[in-house]
Structure 1
Amino acid sequence: MGALFRTKSPELLMREASAPERQMKRSLTALDLTALGIGAIIGSGIFALTGTAAAGESAAGNASSMTTPVINFIQSWLTHAPTVLGRPGAGPAVVFSFVVAAIACGFAALCYAELAAMIPVSGSAYTYSYATLGEIVAWIIGWDLILEYAVGNMAVAVGWSGYFVKLCGSLFGIRFPLWSVTDYKTAADIVAKGGDSLEGYSSTALPVIAGHPIAINLPAFLIVAAVTVLLIYGIRESARTNTAIVILKVAVVVFFISFGAFMVNPTNWHPFVPHGFAGVMSGAAIVFFAFIGFDAVSTTAEETCNPQRDLPIGMIASLIICTLLYVLMSGVLTGIKKYSVYLGDSAAVATAFASKPWAQALVSAGALAGMTSVLLVFQLGQPRIFMAMARDGLLPQYFAKIHPRFRTPYITTIWTGIAVGGVAALTDIGSLADLTNIG
């Protein structure tokens, strides 16, 4: 029983990581780590969730509506805010929701920063748990992190595919066969629905192999494959690619803020806090997802030039920058249109520019770039956790191999790429979203 809770000292963990056959290339700076953090944080969350956080969800459309009316009644009685069935929206006060969520994430980020400085070893929370809580806890957390990153990336890859297909159609007039850009379940639903939903495809007939109709989401598989190859090639190259993508999507966010500021109608900000404290906290619970990802920075500890100094800077700086952008972006969003317009809208940022198609296309391109960098950073993180577990003997040593030339964990990178890409190619976004929410 005692073996289940045995720990490894930070000194032993660092000594094992520094063995010549296990050393990875140290080339990341504080700027690289900040870009990685921003790349992981600013993804589909800000483009998809801000409108929902502002407008809320109706009782009819919310799976948790059986419990939220009771909670809302208690909160409204305590705060004297109006009672709202379903999940109340924050309204224009969604800017406060982002601040609340950022503070909550900030406490976690400070813990990660301190632990990363004390134990600069790849593995993130898995390694920290091994050093403090014991082997069995570390094993559970390690698999939890791997599954969290993997399932999350599967969902992001499918979402990336959807944006890619729409952009190809709207910008270049390119249409793909239905079977090649979605999974079978989604394809069958689209065919059954018929009508306008079929117009975006060059063909809706599904090929039949051995008596079974086939549909494969090739864009989702190919983007995961491309990211996997890049990550095998080297951390320096991966970081440069991520930095370029981050510059692009931050530029799109800044464009939305600066251009949208001229479209703001101050009357849309009244009432500013329509549902009181309950609405602000409900919005914070929704937008919390938009901050997930900063912890992935800690998995690059063994590839950072000065991990004790640069890891805390990367995590905290990325969180502060993203919070500032989120607050400004949500303020402009609720100023352009009345917050209630975004009820049930998963593309509120694009909806705000509905009257300007060119701007809408630019925002969609920014969302695509955002999801690409999320794929890159999360696909970077999970192989390193795999590697750390193999190094500690909790997985076969085969998974701890480092590429002799590129100094990257290529075995685990290949296997995670195959798993993520394969499942993303065959699974619908709804099922993947449900699995992601479980984690």
Structure 2
Amino acid sequence: MLETLNTWSANFANAVWGTPTVILLLGGGLFFAIYSGFRPYRHFGHAIGIMLGKHETPDSPGELSHRQALAAALAATMGLGNISGVALAIVAGGPGAVFWMWMSALVGVATKFFTCTLGVMYRGEDSLGNLQGGPQYVIREAMPKAFFPLAILFSVMGLIGTLPMFQANQLTALIKQNIEISGDPMAVNLGIGITMAVIVGIVVFGGLQRVAKVAVALLPLMVLTYLSMTAYMILTNLPEVPAILGLIVTEAFNPQAVGGGFLGVVLIGVSRGVFSNEAGLGTEVMAHGAARTNEPVREGLVAMLGPVADTLIVCTCTAIVILLAGNWQNPGDLSGVTLTANAFATQLGTPGMLALTLVTLILSSTTMFACWYYGAKCFGFLAGAHVQHHYRWFFLATIVFGAAVSIDVVFNLISGSYAIMAIPTMVSTLYLAPKVKAAAADYFHRHPY
């Protein structure tokens, strides 16, 4: 049964993460950058100012402040994708995969600016009359009716792609690596999964406001702790870092590179990069679509900060630490988060391992909190907001399931769903790109920063 599930999930992920998907995401992001005249890249200072609260409009429609919306979005992306996903990318595609993760983030800046501007520009009411944002609402509100099946497709795949199974799986593996728990392995996994489900349930039953408040409170401290740990390891091995960065670049274009040659490395790097920063998937649109603002462009500017912090900074630090440790070529039984943890343990010992466990525990938990919100919105769009609260129980049950199955099944299922979610998101954004360009021109004419 498990072997069949492994095979099916691998075939599913390989089928959807092909060249067309990479062209759609990288090519689409490059188009947005060029089409906008690289405008988003020229206003990072203004974006940071918005995020810090300089342009809040408390009376505007929406549930979250700009900072809370960014925190909610980063809660989903700043997690195991940065710690475990990077390890999976390097093992599968070699150091060159990191370069293509960078490329996905660079064009992802423009993609997030466009997608999240649309997420606020075309918000729609759910069945209870509450204002909602997301690709499904953008498609419903702004595109011809013939495109409505794309909204359904996004919501269906969003129910799968936003499930917390990957976080539960990797957190379970890390706990078992650090704490020796006797008993049947499956029973231990289930016990850890049930405990996680209870903790997550306490937060998600409090709604979006509680999720955002927890993310704002915990994310900065955890990210700072993680970056401090990686900075220490990088600085103590500084002479080796230039060679590692050079290896990342050269292996990205090596026809005989690990992972199936040049094309294989590109596919692995882009898929893992998108898994990390979610640019073009549409999940980020659901978070930023809840922002309290009447200026869609303003929220698009805040959203574009995500790939920089997420992939270009945090993921790069993780990659350098893993490559410094050197065991990525022969990982043995180590996989994902356990490989990253082993890399930290080589220099920081037990204290480093315990610190990473704490950071991973918090980041994976905040990711699960945010993923509940995304999944609930997809379920509400399909079945009606009046029954949306029932989704919580299904969501918590999948935490237990994710803790019990193999990482390959979980990662392939989530990653493959992400690839399909990108189709409605990118198609609708490309179709409506002129609306964003016109809105940006108007915004910067009124606010010449």
| Inter-partner Cα distance in structure 1 for 2:366 and 2:62 | 21
TM-score by length of 2: 0.63
For the residue of structure 2 that corresponds to 1:181, the secondary structure is helix
The answer as to 2:195 corresponding to 1:222 is yes
8 Å Cα contact 1:265-1:335 kept in structure 2: no
For the residue of structure 2 that corresponds to 1:378, the secondary structure is helix
Give the Å deviation of 1:276. 5.0
Letter in 1 for 2:292: C
- Runs of 5+ consecutive residues of structure 2 not aligned to the other structure: 1-60, 125-131, 258-264, 418-449
The answer as to 2:413 corresponding to 1:417 is no
8 Å Cα contact 1:269-1:334 kept in structure 2: no
Deviations 1:189-221 (A, max 9, x none): xxxxxxxxxxxxxxxxxxxxxxxxxxxx13223
Alignment partner of 1:112 out of 115, 118, 122: 115
* Alignment partner, residue 314 of structure 2: 326
For the residue of structure 2 that corresponds to 1:275, the secondary structure is helix
| Inter-partner Cα distance in structure 1 for 2:153 and 2:112 | 21
* Alignment partner, residue 400 of structure 1: 386
8 Å Cα contact 1:50-1:330 kept in structure 2: yes
8 Å Cα contact 2:84-2:170 kept in structure 1: no
Q: Which moved more, 1:362-371 or 1:130-139?
A: 130-139
Alignment partner of 1:360 out of 353, 359, 362: 353
Q: Whose Rg is larger? A: 1
The answer as to 2:95 corresponding to 1:89 is yes
| 1:33-182 superposed matches below 5 A | 33-54=69-90, 56-57=91-92, 87-90=93-96, 94=98, 96-121=99-124, 122=132, 124-131=134-141, 132-134=143-145, 135-150=148-163, 153-169=164-180, 178-182=185-189
Give the Å deviation of 1:418. 4.8
| Inter-partner Cα distance in structure 1 for 2:289 and 2:121 | 13
Alignment partner of 1:31 out of 67, 89, 99: 67
Letter in 2 for 1:352: A
| Inter-partner Cα distance in structure 2 for 1:265 and 1:425 | 37
* Alignment partner, residue 232 of structure 1: 205
Q: Which moved more, 1:112-121 or 1:286-295?
A: 286-295
Q: Which moved more, 1:109-118 or 1:303-312?
A: 303-312
| 1:273-312 superposed matches below 5 A | 273-278=249-254, 281=266, 284-285=269-270, 287-288=272-273, 289-292=275-278, 295-300=282-287, 303-306=290-293, 308-309=295-296, 311-312=299-300
Structure-2 change in CA distance of 1:228 and 1:434 (3 Å): same
| Inter-partner Cα distance in structure 2 for 1:118 and 1:37 | 18
8 Å Cα contact 1:42-1:290 kept in structure 2: yes
User: How many residue pairs end up in the alignment?
Assistant: 327
Letter in 2 for 1:143: V
| Inter-partner Cα distance in structure 1 for 2:116 and 2:271 | 25
* Alignment partner, residue 336 of structure 1: 324
| Inter-partner Cα distance in structure 2 for 1:162 and 1:418 | 18
Q: Which moved more, 1:244-253 or 1:428-437?
A: 428-437
Give the Å deviation of 1:328. 4.7
* Alignment partner, residue 340 of structure 2: 349
Structure-2 change in CA distance of 1:32 and 1:359 (3 Å): same
* Alignment partner, residue 60 of structure 1: none
Letter in 2 for 1:159: Q
| Inter-partner Cα distance in structure 2 for 1:178 and 1:26 | 45
Q: Which structure is higher in helix share?
A: 2
Deviations 1:89-141 (A, max 9, x none): 328xx3x3332120243343133122112113425121122231533332222
Letter in 1 for 2:175: F
TM-score by length of 1: 0.64
For the residue of structure 1 that corresponds to 2:313, the secondary structure is helix
8 Å Cα contact 2:95-2:251 kept in structure 1: yes
* Alignment partner, residue 219 of structure 2: 246
Q: Which moved more, 1:118-127 or 1:138-147?
A: 118-127
8 Å Cα contact 2:234-2:320 kept in structure 1: yes
* Alignment partner, residue 84 of structure 1: none
8 Å Cα contact 1:296-1:381 kept in structure 2: yes
Structure-2 change in CA distance of 1:179 and 1:141 (3 Å): closer
- Runs of 5+ consecutive residues of structure 1 not aligned to the other structure: 1-24, 58-86, 183-216, 390-394, 402-408
* Alignment partner, residue 381 of structure 1: 374
Deviations 1:346-402 (A, max 9, x none): 33432332242211221232222221111111111111222233xxxxx3x5x425x
